[in-house]
Amino acid sequence: MLKQDLILRNPLRLLGFETEDILPAGGLGAVLAHAGVGKTALLVQLALNGMLRNRNVLHVSLNDPVNKVTLWYRELFEHLADRYETGRVNRLWESVLPHRFIMTFRVEAFSVPKLEERLHDLTEPGIFSPEIMIIDGLHCDATMQNDLAALKNLAGKKGMRVWLTVHTHRHESPGEDGLPASFSPVAGLFDLVLELRPERADVHIKLLRGAATAAGSNLLLDPSTMLIKDHS
């Protein structure tokens, strides 16, 4: 079955975790990388896997319009399913789309209370109740300590698993904990931290914080498709 085949290609499974829900309900996860390395692509793959498992995914974009986010999902889904017959792929795509909702904010207009208000507008009338939320484009440094704490509290109240992209700078040296200095002050709020690290022509996926079971993972992002691949 096509759907099950794609679930078995789950990037979380490739990362070495024993279960697919590597974040606890109410947990925060971060993907750190420089600009243009593949943060959004990685999180869209996690979202697609959730959608294939009938989990509702809310994608909150602070930089890109809805049509660009939609294109990310469609292109990565087609790469994932490129070995299968087009008609089957299209039918599966249509069947998983109801599990995704895209929400956009201007960066300067984003706040956790506003997010909670818009969530209420979705959930109260039964339009959409997310189980996984992706926030792409939020600054995660010491100035955001209170906002991120409020976000974690919101995730706990709603029982959501929340993933964020975190932009890092090339000039930053990692601290003793291996985390960029700008991110370290808020790192304690996160249950899992992954880093995308370019090394020559490859992009390595490194676990910086989280479950020890994934410590031996040896994964890359394929630069041609932006899909996760095993490098072992």
Residue 158's pLDDT is: 94
Residue 56 pLDDT > 90, yes or no? yes
Instruction: Report whether 153 contacts 145 (CB < 8 A).
Output: no
Residue 139's pLDDT is: 85
Tens of pLDDT, residues 164-217: 999 988 777 776 677 888 899 999 999 999 999 888 778 888 888 876 544 445
Tens of pLDDT, residues 110-131: 999 999 999 999 999 999 999 9
Q: Which two tokens stand for residue 43?
A: 């999180």
User: According to the per-residue pLDDT averaged within each range, which of 48-57, 195-204, 215-224 is highest?
Assistant: 48-57
* Superfamily of domain 2-16+32-230 in the CATH hierarchy: P-loop containing nucleotide triphosphate hydrolases (3.40.50.300)
Domain residue ranges of the chain, discontinuous segments joined by +: 2-16+32-230
Residue 62 pLDDT > 70, yes or no? yes
Please say whether the dihedral angle defined by the alpha carbons of residues 213, 219, 221 and 227, taken in this order, is positive or negative. negative
Residue 104's pLDDT is: 95
- Long-range pairs for 193-197: beta carbons < 8 A, 24 or more residues apart: 193/29, 193/30, 193/32, 194/29, 194/30, 194/31, 194/32, 194/42, 195/31, 195/32, 195/33, 195/168, 196/31, 196/32, 196/33, 196/37, 196/38, 196/39, 196/42, 196/221, 197/33
Using DSSP's 3-state secondary structure scheme, residue 44 falls into helix
Tens of pLDDT, residues 69-109: 999 999 999 988 888 888 999 999 999 999 999 999 988 88
Q: Which two tokens stand for residue 57?
A: 């995914």
Using DSSP's 3-state secondary structure scheme, residue 149 falls into helix
